[in-house]
């Protein structure tokens, strides 16, 4: 039996276009300038940390006000139309059938996760569904993967972590997990770097079978 730890956005679901559009829309609304790579920077962060980052950039809101705005913009997207990526649903069901432990560790909050996973019919595939809000660390920190291993009752080296984000992949690798990079259009320019940093790289989830 293998222990899988999956990212959510850009790995299991094709949410990055909606996620990026809505987050940047908040910065645009308040005329906050930002670098071209801002999404890659904030993707491994939790929503609270992202808001703190935006506030440091000049967003004239409190963290709570910013989170409320993010939730208002994104909950309908996750609940109504964000799709699973190619091969994800069938592969997860087959891995579960084979007796593997399937788990999620994402920067997204549970208010995004639960309605989306339920609508896609894969909520029950997972033994644990964790947001970084459930930890004292974020996904850019190796400690979060070590803590996940403790909660799973396995050695960190026994975890197969899958993520489309370079920063998260590097942190998980530093923690000692096996790391599979996952292709997503949002990280298309990082494919070679992710391949170099990870143990394996997949373009479609069916490659896991």
Domain boundary among 55, 80, 105: 80
CA 145, CA 167: separation in Å to the nearest integer? 13
What CA–CA distances, in Å, run from 43 to 20, 166, 206?
A: 9, 10, 25
Three-state SS at 102: strand
Does 125 share its domain with 138?
Answer: yes
Q: Number of folded domains in the chain?
A: 2
Q: What is the DSSP string of 175-204?
A: HT-EEEEE--GGGGGGHHHHHHHSSEEESS
Does 50 share its domain with 66?
Answer: yes
* Contact (CB, 8 A) for 95 and 208: yes
pLDDT at residue number 52: 95
pTM for the model stands at: 0.92
pLDDT at residue number 45: 83
Does 8 share its domain with 109?
Answer: yes
Does 59 share its domain with 143?
Answer: no
- Dihedral of alpha carbons 188, 189, 192, 197, sign: negative
Does 90 share its domain with 24?
Answer: no
Domain boundary among 80, 99, 134: 80
CA 171, CA 208: separation in Å to the nearest integer? 22
What CATH code is carried by the domain that includes residue 156?
3.40.50.1000
CA 72, CA 75: separation in Å to the nearest integer? 6
Q: Which domain holds residue 71?
A: 16-80
Average pLDDT of adjacent 10-residue blocks, the chain of 209 residues: 97 93 94 93 86 96 94 96 97 98 96 97 98 95 98 98 97 98 94 98 97
Domain boundary among 80, 99, 118: 80
Does 70 share its domain with 101?
Answer: no
Alpha carbons within 13 angstroms on the beta-carbon side of residue 51 total 15
Beta carbons within 8 Å of 57's beta carbon, 6+ residues apart: 27, 32, 33, 34
pLDDT at residue number 126: 98
pLDDT at residue number 168: 97
CA 135, CA 133: separation in Å to the nearest integer? 5
């Amino acid at each position: 039996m293998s222990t899988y730890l999956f990212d959510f956005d850009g790995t299991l679901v094709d949410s990055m276009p909606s996620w990026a559009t809505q987050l940047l829309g908040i910065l645009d609304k308040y005329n906050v300038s930002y670098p071209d790579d801002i999404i890659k920077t904030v993707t491994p962060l939790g929503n609270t940390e992202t808001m703190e980052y935006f506030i440091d950039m000049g967003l004239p809101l409190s963290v709570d006000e910013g989170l409320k705005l993010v939730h208002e913009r994104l909950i309908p997207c996750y609940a109504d139309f964000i799709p699973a990526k190619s091969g994800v649903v069938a592969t997860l069901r087959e891995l579960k059938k084979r007796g593997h432990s399937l788990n999620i560790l994402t920067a997204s909050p549970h208010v995004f996760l639960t309605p989306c996973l339920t609508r896609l019919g894969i909520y029950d595939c997972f033994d644990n569904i964790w947001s970084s809000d459930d930890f004292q660390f974020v996904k850019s920190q190796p400690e979060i993967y070590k803590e996940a291993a403790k909660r799973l009752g396995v050695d960190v080296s026994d975890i197969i972590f899958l993520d489309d984000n370079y920063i998260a992949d590097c942190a998980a690798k530093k923690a000692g997990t096996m790391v599979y990079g996952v292709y997503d259009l949002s990280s298309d320019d990082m494919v070679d770097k992710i391949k170099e940093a990870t143990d394996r790289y997949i373009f479609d989830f069916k490659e896991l079978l």
